[in-house]
Chain A
Amino acid sequence: MTSIESQVLQPYKYGFVTDIDADTVPPGLNEDVIRLISAKKGEPAFLLEWRLKAYRHWLTMREPRWANVTYADIDYQAIRYYSSPRQQKKWDSLEQVDPKLLETFEKLGIPLNEQKRLTGVAVDAVFDSVSVGTTFKETLAKEGVIFCSFSDAVREHPDLIERYLGTVVPSSDNFFAALNAAVFSDGSFAYIPKGVRCPMELSTYFRINASSTGQFERTLIVADEGSYVSYLEGCSAPMRDENQLHAAVVELVALDHAEIKYSTVQNWYPGDAEGKGGIYNFVTKRGACAGRASKISWTQVETGSAITWKYPGCILQGDDSIGEFYSVAVTAGRQQADTGTKMIHIGRNTRSTIVSKGISAGRGQNTYRGQVKILKGATGARNYSQCDSMLIGDQCGAHTFPYIDVRNSTATMEHEASTSKIGEDQIFYCKQRGLSAEDAVSMIVNGFCKEVFRELPMEFAVEAQNLLGISLEGSVG
Chain B
Amino acid sequence: MLEIRGLRASVEGTEILHGVDLTIRAGEVHAIMGPNGSGKSTLAQVLAGHPAYTVTGGTVSYEGKDLLGLAPEERAREGVFLAFQYPVEIKGITNAYFLRSALNAIRKHRGLEELDPIDFLGVLEEKAKAVELGDEMMNRPVNDGFSGGEKKRNEILQMAVLEPRLAILDETDSGLDIDALKTVANAVNRLRRPDNATLIVTHYQRLLNYITPDFVHVLADGRIVKSGGKELAHELEARGYDWLRPEAAAV
Contacts and interface: CB of A to CB of B under 8 A. Distances in A.
A433 B87 CA distance: 12
A64 interface: no
Contacts of A448: 91-92
B contact residues, range: 20 to 34
A91 interface: no
Contact of A2 (B51, B84, B99, B158): B51
B71 interface: yes
Contacts of B77: 434
A432 interface: yes
A63 interface: no
Contact of A433 (B50, B97, B102, B141): B102
B48 A432 contact: yes
Nearest to A4: B51
B106 to A, nearest CB: 4
A449 B89 CA distance: 15
A433 B158 contact: yes
B98 A444 contact: no
A212 interface: no
A146 B219 CA distance: 77
Contacts of B99: 433
B112 interface: no
A427 to B, nearest CB: 9
Contacts of A443: 90, 93, 97-98, 101
Which of the listed residues A3, A430, A443 has the most CB atoms from chain B within 10 Å of its own CB? A430
A433 B76 contact: yes
A162 interface: no
A425 B53 CA distance: 12
Contacts of B73: 431-432, 434-437
A444 B93 contact: yes
Interface string B40-66: 000000001111100000000000000
B192 to A, nearest CB: 21
B88 interface: yes
B51 A434 contact: no
A3 B51 contact: yes
Which of the listed residues B49, B73, B109 has the most CB atoms from chain A within 10 Å of its own CB? B73
A447 B91 contact: yes
Contacts of B98: 430, 433, 443
Contact of B101 (A2, A439, A449): A439
Contact of B72 (A423, A428, A444): A428
Interface of A: 1-3, 423-426, 428-437, 439, 443-444, 446-451
Given A431-B72, A434-B77, A435-B102, 14 more contacts: A426-B90, A429-B88, A431-B71, A432-B49, A432-B81, A433-B158, A434-B106, A434-B109, A435-B101, A435-B105, A439-B105, A444-B90, A447-B91, A451-B92
8 contacts: A428-B72, A432-B49, A432-B76, A433-B99, A437-B73, A447-B90, A447-B93, A449-B92
